Amino acid sequence: MEMPVSKPDFADEKHRILAQVFGFEGFRPGQVEVIDALMLGESVLAVMPTGAGKSLCFQVPALALGGLTIVVSPLLALMQDQVSALQLAGVRAETINSARDRAENVAVWRRVAAGEVSLLYLSPERLMTERMLDALARLPVRLIAVDEAHCISQWGPAFRPEYSDLVRLRGLFPDAAMVALTATADAITRRDIAAKLFGEKARIFVQGFDRPNIHLAVTFKAEWKQQMLAFLARHAGESGIVYCLSRKKTEETAALLLDHGVAALPYHAGMEKWQRDGNQDSFMREEGVVMVATIAFGMGIDKPDVRFVLHTDLPGSMEAYYQEFGRAGRDGAPAQALMLYGLGDIRMRRQFIEQEGGGEERRRQEHKRLDALLAYCEAPQCRRQPLLAYFGEEAEPCGNCDLCLDTTPAVEGTDLAQLALAAIRDTGQRFGAAHIVDVLCGANNEKVRKFGHERLDSHGAGKARRKPEWQSILRQLLAGGYLQLDMEGFGGMALDARGQALLRGEEDFFYRPDATPQPRGGGGQQRAATRAGAHGGTAARADAPDLSERDQDLLGALKALRSRLSKARGVPAYVVFSDRSLADMALQRPTSVDEFAAVHGVGQAKLKKFANTFLAAIAEHGQ
């Protein structure tokens, strides 16, 4: 099959594929530009937010161009789910991977070699063997898609060394169009990917980073277990992810949640592979499961109905945080992201950067990345503004974060900050936050007496304030760049140049008092979702229209039917039909095959497979 050369034909073909194969009426913003460039044989780096439809950007041109498309994907479970979804849509997609036995892989390869497969999903490890590369060189490879492309960059937040060998693909398949896709890449990472994968000869499309349907919140870590349980109580029965820093904390947290009636499963790299894979499979296929995990879990996870992501510890960088909380709300419906963090988290992250090596320039870059995340945590107003500014975007206040929805103003605290800075100076700039708070509050413990700090003017100067308030002020001084931590010692705090200026009265200091977040009702969340839509995003109501009580009953019956069908086929429920498709069925109540064909997400293959079954369920409910 010859590669098309006239762009007018492309529009007809890509829209035909979109409607007949995938059952969608139109492309989402940003998709057409990427598809057209690939169909012209160009190299493309596409940076698109999670849930924006990155997969269609290579699946549509793969079907239009013909020949074979290679998709490089990081996780076996993700590959299998995407292949299952494509096969249900009537697409000739396959995967060869280590989870299958040799006979299955051989049978798939024979179909590939015979030209019976349009998309072949491979891990980078499987693709970059000489045997596989030699075999693919004899086939008409028209397109190569590299998913989670930030892994190629040495600055990527989830670096996979196996990805580095992919830089050879451009030379090995010079006639194939090539696309790298990611939701997480700042300007440095984008330049690095383009240079390594394309020799800088690529078109770069950055659609944007905003996820307006996700409510963002940060809370100072106090009694984190109680904070976590209160948050999860407001999300009872919903799927979500709880991120923990260590393997031990992951296991203990999952056990704690189980004791409190939450269907929680642990996931970390120290578990046996069969147990990890089993827990991930349960999370992907079942409703209401909470995954408690280290950062080993999540890359490429394509579960649309994750309603919340909770971080019990400070993430490593803004990119890491964006990628991790971005696993929520992929279906466009309201979701929540909550981060708990404290002074100890800041010290811990600084230590990690110093200990991981990589040279002085690497450490400098990582400290700057952490500085950006701390600025986000201690933002004086809208959280989305510093988040999007980090990725090069300007934004108006979002109306869907804790700061936008909290009318409590920042408090003028210059005098308090000067008291804290004076105590740090007077004690020799070598003690941690706990001791400084003791000095300010006038404690008379053994450590205070040992160093004679009860004789300082600073001793007791802040006893009119409670300890938690001083801890908050110190944390915000540290996050604001007024203080620095002694990373080689025991985390002692010292005045930075900005802190010295504040102590001299050359700067003012405003801080935000810590407050215990109040439970949010469904009405508040819906108002937040409506605000998100007003700021240019796809809010929940675009994908889940208002349904009457009778329609909701039908939706429940359709979800039960979908669950039975998905279990029988061994695929996640959303692979059969998305929640949006079921909501459209409940609203439209089709009575014929023709009417069912108009439902969102119903292509020709799914029409043949499922129309009669779902029409019967809709008719039975009507009776």
Whether this prediction's pTM lies above 0.75 is answered by no
pLDDT band at 300 (very low <50, low <70, confident <90, very high): low
Asked whether 308 and 288 are in contact (CB, 8 A), the reply is: no
Cα 319 to the center of its chain, rounded Å: 9
Tokens of 527: 């108002």
Q: What is the pLDDT of residues 60-106, one digit of tens each?
A: 999 999 999 999 987 777 788 889 999 999 999 999 988 788 999 99
Asked whether 155 and 130 are in contact (CB, 8 A), the reply is: no
Q: Smallest Cα–Cα separation from 502: which of 418, 428, 380, 420? A: 418
Average pLDDT for residues 492-498, to the nearest whole number?
87
Average pLDDT for residues 216-233, to the nearest whole number?
93
Class of domain 411-511 (CATH, top level): mainly alpha
CA distance 507 to 411: 15
Please give the mean pLDDT across all residues of the chain: 85
Asked whether 289 and 239 are in contact (CB, 8 A), the reply is: yes
Asked whether 468 and 454 are in contact (CB, 8 A), the reply is: no
φ/ψ bin of 359: left (φ > 0), alpha (ψ from -120 to 50), beta (otherwise): left
Check whether 116 has a pLDDT greater than 80: yes
Please return the burial class of 315, using the count of CB atoms within 10 Å of its CB with bins 0-12, 13-18 and 19+. Answer: buried
Q: Is the model more confident about 408 or about 370?
A: 370
Residues 6+ apart with CB under 8 A from 180: 44, 45, 46, 145, 146, 149, 152, 193, 197, 198, 202
Strand order in the sheet with 239-243: 214-220, 335-341, 306-311, 239-243, 290-293, 264-267
Class of domain 7-206 (CATH, top level): alpha beta
Helix axes 414-426, 433-441, angle to 10 degrees: 110
CA distance 145 to 522: 40
Q: Is the model more confident about 579 or about 4?
A: 579
- In the chain, ranges of CATH 3.40.50.300 domains: 7-206, 214-341+379-405
Tell me the C-alpha to C-alpha distance, in Å, between residue 221 and each of 45, 250, 310, 591, 596. 38, 17, 12, 54, 50
Q: What is the pLDDT of residues 599-609, one digit of tens each?
A: 999 999 999 99
- In the chain, ranges of CATH 1.10.150.80 domains: 549-622
Asked whether 204 and 254 are in contact (CB, 8 A), the reply is: no
Tokens of 143: 């397109």
The alpha carbons of the chain give a radius of gyration, in whole angstroms, of 27
Q: What is the pLDDT of residues 169-197, one digit of tens each?
A: 888 999 999 999 988 777 777 888 888 88
Q: Is the model more confident about 203 or about 151?
A: 203
Provide DSSP, 563-589: HHHHHHHTS-HHHH--HHHHHHHHHH-
pLDDT band at 3 (very low <50, low <70, confident <90, very high): very low
CA distance 181 to 206: 10
Asked whether 326 and 50 are in contact (CB, 8 A), the reply is: yes
Q: Smallest Cα–Cα separation from 600: which of 618, 580, 574? A: 580
Helix (H) or strand (E) holding 220: strand 214-220
E strands present in 113-202: 119-122, 141-146, 177-182
* Architecture of the domain whose range is 214-341+379-405: 3-Layer(aba) Sandwich (3.40)
Tokens of 59: 């699946």
Q: Smallest Cα–Cα separation from 492: which of 282, 369, 350, 303? A: 350
Tell me the C-alpha to C-alpha distance, in Å, between residue 546 and each of 11, 304, 366, 531, 533. 33, 19, 45, 17, 15
CA distance 527 to 175: 51
Q: What is the pLDDT of residue 241?
A: 96
Tokens of 317: 């960088």
- Pick 549-622's CATH classification: 1.20.1530.20, 1.10.150.80, 3.40.50.300, 3.40.640.10: 1.10.150.80
Mean pLDDT lowest among 311-320, 399-408, 585-594: 399-408
CA distance 471 to 222: 10
First to last CA, the chain: 51
Q: What is the pLDDT of residue 588?
A: 92
Q: What is the pLDDT of residue 193?
A: 84
Check whether 496 has a pLDDT greater than 90: no
Average pLDDT for residues 155-166, to the nearest whole number?
60
Check whether 622 has a pLDDT greater than 90: no
Asked whether 402 and 216 are in contact (CB, 8 A), the reply is: yes
Q: Smallest Cα–Cα separation from 424: which of 367, 500, 341? A: 500
Q: What is the pLDDT of residue 571?
A: 86
pLDDT band at 373 (very low <50, low <70, confident <90, very high): confident
Helix (H) or strand (E) holding 515: none
8-state DSSP, 399: S
CA distance 516 to 556: 35
Q: What is the pLDDT of residues 14-60, one digit of tens each?
A: 999 999 999 998 898 889 999 999 999 899 999 888 777 889 999 99
Average pLDDT for residues 233-246, to the nearest whole number?
94
Q: What percent of the chain has pLDDT over 90?
A: 48
pLDDT band at 7 (very low <50, low <70, confident <90, very high): very low
Q: What is the pLDDT of residues 570-586, one digit of tens each?
A: 888 889 998 889 999 99
Mean pLDDT lowest among 16-25, 242-251, 452-461, 477-486: 477-486
